[in-house]
Amino acid sequence: MNGLNGVYVPGTSPLHRLPAGVKLAGLAVACTVLVLVSSLVVLAGAAVVVAALYALSRVGTAAAWAQVRPVRWLALALFAMQWVFAGLPGAAATTSRVVLVVALAGLVTITTRTSAMMATLERCLRPARFVGLDPFRLSLLLSLTVRSVPVMAALATRVREAQRARGVERSLRAFAVPLVVSALRHADALGEALSARGVDD
Protein backbone atom coordinates (compact mmCIF):
# COMPACT_ATOMS: atom_id res chain seq x y z
CA MET A 1 0.00 0.00 0.00
CA ASN A 2 1.96 3.01 -1.16
CA GLY A 3 -0.80 5.40 -0.12
CA LEU A 4 0.74 5.29 3.33
CA ASN A 5 3.75 7.37 2.43
CA GLY A 6 1.88 10.43 3.56
CA VAL A 7 1.78 13.79 1.90
CA TYR A 8 5.38 14.74 2.69
CA VAL A 9 7.25 16.19 -0.29
CA PRO A 10 11.01 15.68 0.12
CA GLY A 11 13.22 18.74 -0.09
CA THR A 12 16.10 20.63 1.47
CA SER A 13 14.60 24.11 1.80
CA PRO A 14 14.91 26.07 5.07
CA LEU A 15 11.30 25.12 5.80
CA HIS A 16 12.11 21.42 5.46
CA ARG A 17 15.02 21.79 7.88
CA LEU A 18 13.07 23.61 10.59
CA PRO A 19 12.18 21.30 13.53
CA ALA A 20 8.58 20.05 13.51
CA GLY A 21 7.85 21.60 16.92
CA VAL A 22 8.89 25.06 15.72
CA LYS A 23 6.71 24.75 12.62
CA LEU A 24 3.71 23.64 14.68
CA ALA A 25 4.14 26.51 17.12
CA GLY A 26 4.51 28.95 14.21
CA LEU A 27 1.38 27.57 12.64
CA ALA A 28 -0.57 28.00 15.87
CA VAL A 29 0.53 31.63 16.15
CA ALA A 30 -0.21 32.34 12.49
CA CYS A 31 -3.68 30.81 12.73
CA THR A 32 -4.52 32.85 15.82
CA VAL A 33 -3.41 36.05 14.09
CA LEU A 34 -5.41 35.20 10.96
CA VAL A 35 -8.56 34.58 13.00
CA LEU A 36 -8.23 37.95 14.73
CA VAL A 37 -7.55 39.95 11.57
CA SER A 38 -10.46 41.18 9.50
CA SER A 39 -8.85 43.91 7.38
CA LEU A 40 -8.67 42.91 3.72
CA VAL A 41 -5.34 44.68 3.24
CA VAL A 42 -3.70 42.66 6.02
CA LEU A 43 -5.24 39.45 4.65
CA ALA A 44 -3.88 40.24 1.19
CA GLY A 45 -0.46 40.75 2.81
CA ALA A 46 -0.86 37.40 4.57
CA ALA A 47 -1.69 35.76 1.24
CA VAL A 48 1.52 37.14 -0.23
CA VAL A 49 3.48 35.82 2.77
CA VAL A 50 1.92 32.36 2.41
CA ALA A 51 2.68 32.32 -1.32
CA ALA A 52 6.25 33.38 -0.57
CA LEU A 53 6.60 30.58 1.98
CA TYR A 54 5.39 28.06 -0.60
CA ALA A 55 7.91 29.45 -3.08
CA LEU A 56 10.61 29.19 -0.43
CA SER A 57 9.75 25.55 0.24
CA ARG A 58 10.08 24.75 -3.52
CA VAL A 59 7.45 21.99 -3.39
CA GLY A 60 5.93 22.93 -6.73
CA THR A 61 2.46 24.13 -7.61
CA ALA A 62 0.96 20.66 -7.89
CA ALA A 63 1.73 19.84 -4.25
CA ALA A 64 0.50 23.27 -3.17
CA TRP A 65 -2.77 22.89 -5.07
CA ALA A 66 -3.28 19.41 -3.60
CA GLN A 67 -3.38 21.00 -0.15
CA VAL A 68 -6.02 23.61 -1.00
CA ARG A 69 -8.04 21.50 -3.44
CA PRO A 70 -10.16 19.71 -0.79
CA VAL A 71 -11.72 23.01 0.35
CA ARG A 72 -12.37 24.50 -3.10
CA TRP A 73 -16.12 23.82 -3.22
CA LEU A 74 -16.55 24.80 0.37
CA ALA A 75 -14.71 28.05 -0.29
CA LEU A 76 -17.04 28.81 -3.21
CA ALA A 77 -20.19 28.02 -1.23
CA LEU A 78 -18.92 29.98 1.74
CA PHE A 79 -18.13 32.98 -0.44
CA ALA A 80 -21.59 32.94 -2.02
CA MET A 81 -23.32 32.61 1.33
CA GLN A 82 -21.26 35.30 3.01
CA TRP A 83 -21.87 37.61 0.09
CA VAL A 84 -25.61 37.31 0.75
CA PHE A 85 -25.37 37.63 4.52
CA ALA A 86 -22.35 39.87 5.13
CA GLY A 87 -21.61 41.71 1.90
CA LEU A 88 -18.66 41.44 -0.47
CA PRO A 89 -15.80 42.56 1.85
CA GLY A 90 -16.91 40.25 4.63
CA ALA A 91 -17.23 37.36 2.17
CA ALA A 92 -13.74 37.96 0.80
CA ALA A 93 -12.24 38.19 4.29
CA THR A 94 -13.88 35.02 5.67
CA THR A 95 -13.16 32.95 2.59
CA SER A 96 -9.54 34.00 2.26
CA ARG A 97 -9.01 33.38 5.96
CA VAL A 98 -10.21 29.77 5.70
CA VAL A 99 -8.17 29.12 2.56
CA LEU A 100 -5.03 30.70 4.07
CA VAL A 101 -5.25 28.66 7.28
CA VAL A 102 -5.70 25.45 5.30
CA ALA A 103 -2.81 26.38 2.97
CA LEU A 104 -0.48 27.13 5.90
CA ALA A 105 -1.35 23.91 7.71
CA GLY A 106 -0.80 22.06 4.45
CA LEU A 107 2.61 23.67 4.09
CA VAL A 108 3.67 22.32 7.49
CA THR A 109 2.48 18.86 6.47
CA ILE A 110 4.23 18.95 3.10
CA THR A 111 7.57 20.00 4.56
CA THR A 112 7.63 17.70 7.60
CA ARG A 113 8.40 14.00 7.52
CA THR A 114 5.59 11.87 8.96
CA SER A 115 8.08 10.27 11.35
CA ALA A 116 9.27 13.67 12.65
CA MET A 117 5.69 14.81 13.10
CA MET A 118 4.83 11.60 14.92
CA ALA A 119 7.79 12.00 17.28
CA THR A 120 6.64 15.54 18.11
CA LEU A 121 3.05 14.42 18.63
CA GLU A 122 4.22 11.58 20.86
CA ARG A 123 6.00 14.16 23.00
CA CYS A 124 2.81 16.22 23.18
CA LEU A 125 0.82 13.12 24.18
CA ARG A 126 3.12 12.29 27.08
CA PRO A 127 0.50 13.40 29.66
CA ALA A 128 -1.47 10.33 28.50
CA ARG A 129 0.56 8.33 31.03
CA PHE A 130 -1.78 9.65 33.71
CA VAL A 131 -4.55 7.51 32.22
CA GLY A 132 -2.30 4.47 32.18
CA LEU A 133 -0.52 4.80 28.84
CA ASP A 134 3.24 5.01 29.16
CA PRO A 135 5.22 6.52 26.26
CA PHE A 136 6.50 3.14 25.11
CA ARG A 137 2.97 1.75 24.83
CA LEU A 138 1.88 4.87 23.05
CA SER A 139 4.54 4.48 20.35
CA LEU A 140 3.68 0.80 20.14
CA LEU A 141 0.01 1.72 19.71
CA LEU A 142 0.76 4.20 16.93
CA SER A 143 3.06 1.87 15.00
CA LEU A 144 0.67 -1.06 15.47
CA THR A 145 -2.08 1.06 13.94
CA VAL A 146 0.06 2.06 10.96
CA ARG A 147 0.89 -1.62 10.46
CA SER A 148 -2.76 -2.64 10.83
CA VAL A 149 -4.06 -0.39 8.04
CA PRO A 150 -2.78 -2.55 5.15
CA VAL A 151 -3.76 -5.69 7.09
CA MET A 152 -7.33 -4.42 7.48
CA ALA A 153 -7.44 -3.31 3.83
CA ALA A 154 -6.40 -6.81 2.75
CA LEU A 155 -9.00 -8.27 5.10
CA ALA A 156 -11.70 -6.05 3.57
CA THR A 157 -10.74 -7.18 0.08
CA ARG A 158 -10.84 -10.83 1.13
CA VAL A 159 -14.24 -10.49 2.76
CA ARG A 160 -15.60 -8.69 -0.30
CA GLU A 161 -14.36 -11.47 -2.57
CA ALA A 162 -15.99 -14.08 -0.36
CA GLN A 163 -19.16 -12.05 -0.44
CA ARG A 164 -19.09 -11.92 -4.24
CA ALA A 165 -18.58 -15.67 -4.37
CA ARG A 166 -21.66 -16.14 -2.19
CA GLY A 167 -23.67 -13.80 -4.41
CA VAL A 168 -24.58 -11.42 -1.58
CA GLU A 169 -22.60 -8.52 -2.99
CA ARG A 170 -25.13 -5.89 -2.00
CA SER A 171 -25.71 -6.87 1.57
CA LEU A 172 -23.83 -4.65 3.95
CA ARG A 173 -24.23 -7.09 6.79
CA ALA A 174 -22.67 -9.86 4.76
CA PHE A 175 -19.67 -7.57 4.33
CA ALA A 176 -19.31 -5.78 7.64
CA VAL A 177 -20.12 -8.51 10.16
CA PRO A 178 -17.42 -10.92 8.91
CA LEU A 179 -15.03 -7.98 8.53
CA VAL A 180 -15.50 -6.79 12.11
CA VAL A 181 -15.44 -10.33 13.54
CA SER A 182 -12.20 -11.17 11.75
CA ALA A 183 -10.75 -7.80 12.75
CA LEU A 184 -11.51 -8.64 16.40
CA ARG A 185 -10.07 -12.15 16.06
CA HIS A 186 -6.96 -10.65 14.50
CA ALA A 187 -6.70 -8.07 17.29
CA ASP A 188 -7.11 -10.60 20.07
CA ALA A 189 -4.54 -12.94 18.51
CA LEU A 190 -2.20 -9.97 18.14
CA GLY A 191 -2.75 -9.04 21.79
CA GLU A 192 -1.92 -12.56 22.93
CA ALA A 193 1.19 -12.60 20.76
CA LEU A 194 2.28 -9.31 22.30
CA SER A 195 1.79 -10.53 25.88
CA ALA A 196 3.57 -13.76 25.01
CA ARG A 197 6.54 -11.63 23.98
CA GLY A 198 6.50 -9.91 27.34
CA VAL A 199 5.13 -6.49 26.40
CA ASP A 200 3.26 -6.51 29.71
CA ASP A 201 6.45 -6.65 31.79
Does residue number 160 form part of the binding site for another protein (CB under 8 A)? yes
Segment contacting another protein (CB under 8 A): 11-19, 40-48, 49-57, 151-159? 151-159
Distance CA 98, CA 155 (A): 38
Cβ at position 12, least distance to another protein in Å: 18
Question: Residues in contact with another protein, total (CB under 8 A)?
Answer: 77
Check binding of 187 to another protein (CB under 8 A): yes
Q: Which of residues 80-139 bind another protein (CB under 8 A)?
A: 81-82, 85-86, 90, 94, 98, 101-106, 108-110, 112, 114, 117-118, 121, 125, 131-134, 137
Positions in 29-68 near another protein (CB under 8 A): 31, 67
- Is 175 one of the binding residues for another protein (CB under 8 A)? yes
Q: Residue from 145, 158, 161, 168 that binds another protein (CB under 8 A)?
A: 145
**Greatest Cα pair distance in the chain:** 65
Among the candidate windows 10-18, 45-53, 57-65, 147-155, which touches another protein by CB under 8 A?
Answer: 147-155
